[in-house]
Amino acid sequence: SVLPVLSTQGKRCRSERHKIFSHDNMSVAHYFALVFAVAVLGGWCFLWIMHVTGIIFGKVRLHRAVSTPSPEDLPGVSIIKPLVGVDPNLYTNIETFFNQSYPSFEILFSVQDESDPALMVVKALMEKYPKVDAKIFIGIKHVGPNGKVNNMVKAYEAAKHDTIVISDSSIKMLPDTLMDMISYLKPDVGLVLQMPYTEHRKGFAAVYEKVYFGTYQARSALGAAAVGINCSTGMSCVFRKDVLEKHGGLAPLGKYLAEDYFICEILTKAGYKSALCSKPALQNSGHYSISHFHQRLVRWSQLRISLLPQLIFLEPLSECMLMGVVASWAVEYVFGISPMAFFLMHVLCWFLCDYCTLTTVENGSLPFSKFEFLVAWLLRECLAFYLTIQSHRTSIVNWRHKKYKVHWGGTIEEI
């Protein structure tokens, strides 16, 4: 009879399953280890998907030729430039804004007091380019502990255009960058960002910065932009003033240090998308060093964690070395593959993908040797976990010669 045979087979199957999942063969700890290993491999696969997605998106989006619409189709733009002090490249950086190939824009410079040496640089450029609509605003309007917002509020309130650009003093712009940014400001887009990158400068510290922004930062920004995730940066962005005004304008953001993140949040909740333009933001500070850059990285990590606490665990696992170590254990645990061989292959592939990402962002050959890239890449990857630990040690942030305590949710208080 068929039924007895099926019954016997069913009992045999249940017996085999009982043997496999019995306490003797698989402990509770083993269950958890297996689940964790599978989760790690899932995260590892996700990182690689984002890695490849970022490279493809970068090749499609970055450095595209800028179309030139008729002037009547373009909105007027108010560019706000908050300034504090000078550095050797300030004149060069600001001058690029006077040379934008855009039909209607104004530049609004804001300084905290009349003794700021940046005023001399601005006035010299205003005399050199008298046809450019440029104004200076002296003195802050205190709306919170964020000094940058306090410095910008007067200029923001006086802006005569509804399309606002906020750009840091260290940013250098190509002549068609403003046109490029505005071309992405479609009716359903409320915020257009420039992906952070660097202008080429001399020294290994400059190479180190370029490698960071052209690999880790670019991978995050391009991958996030490809899937529509908020990856805002206040270095250089354009947004709709009328939408922000419905939520109180710029002043309420003075209680946050990451005001750019909350501008993006407001516009997103209002139903607008954010977009990444094709021209990277070229940081061109005249003062730079590896130690100073590490301080910036620690500060940014502190801010991200205060806004998104889950990054305490997720961010370290997005790094090449730590994820490589954990994933190597996982493949050995699940599949019995040699962890050392897997780790070396993982690092090699990551290195090659990062090189591809960097050349994509650079839009050509690198301005330094492959050996310099290798050294800078290894240094960044090996120090990543150390810098993450440093950001967890305290909630005190040092910024612009002041100290702030960062609270959960992103609010700050000066101390």
Structure confidence by residue, pLDDT tens digits, 193-249 = 999 999 999 999 999 999 999 999 999 999 989 988 777 777 999 999 999 999 999
**Active site amino acids:** 260
Which of 59, 64, 122, 63 minimizes the C-alpha distance to 95?
Answer: 122
Q: 81: which strand partners?
A: 109
> Any idea what DSSP says for residue 101?
-
Q: Does an H or E element contain 113, and which?
A: none
Cβ proximity of 286 and 181 under 8 Å:
no
> Any idea what DSSP says for residue 271?
T
DSSP secondary structure string, 133-202?
EEEEEES---SSS-HHHHHHHHHHHH--SSEEEEE-TTEE--TTHHHHHHHT--TTEEEEEPPEEE---S
Residues 142-163 have a mean pLDDT of 97
Q: What is d(CA 270, CA 21) in angstroms, rounded to the nearest whole number?
A: 52
Cβ proximity of 384 and 321 under 8 Å:
yes
**What tens digit of pLDDT does each residue of 170-195 get?**
999 999 999 999 999 999 999 999 99
Taking all residues of the chain, what is their mean pLDDT, rounded to a whole number? Answer: 91
Torsion of Cα atoms, 287 then 107 then 98 then 239, to 10°: 80
At residue 27 the predicted structure's pLDDT band, cuts being 50, 70 and 90, is confident
Residue 293 scores a pLDDT above 70: yes
- Residue 138, pLDDT score: 97
Between 330 and 71, whose confidence is greater?
A: 330
At residue 8 the predicted structure's pLDDT band, cuts being 50, 70 and 90, is very low
At residue 16 the predicted structure's pLDDT band, cuts being 50, 70 and 90, is very low
Cβ proximity of 276 and 237 under 8 Å:
no
Report how far Cα 149 is from the mean position of its chain's Cα atoms: 20
> Any idea what DSSP says for residue 256?
B
| Numbered ranges of CATH 3.90.550.10 in the chain | 72-195+241-287
**Which one of 1.10.1370.30, 3.30.1540.10, 3.40.50.2300, 3.90.550.10 gives the CATH number of domain 72-195+241-287?**
3.90.550.10
Residues 252-279 have a mean pLDDT of 94
Percentage of the chain exceeding pLDDT 90: 84
3-state helix, strand, coil in the chain (%, to 5): 55, 15, 30
- Residue 278, pLDDT score: 96
Cβ proximity of 74 and 184 under 8 Å:
no
**What tens digit of pLDDT does each residue of 109-140 get?**
999 999 999 999 999 999 999 999 999 999 99
Lowest-confidence pick of 96-110, 362-376, 392-406 = 392-406
Residues 402-415 have a mean pLDDT of 92
Q: What is d(CA 189, CA 239) in angstroms, rounded to the nearest whole number?
A: 9
Between 162 and 402, whose confidence is greater?
A: 162
At residue 375 the predicted structure's pLDDT band, cuts being 50, 70 and 90, is very high
Cβ proximity of 86 and 125 under 8 Å:
no
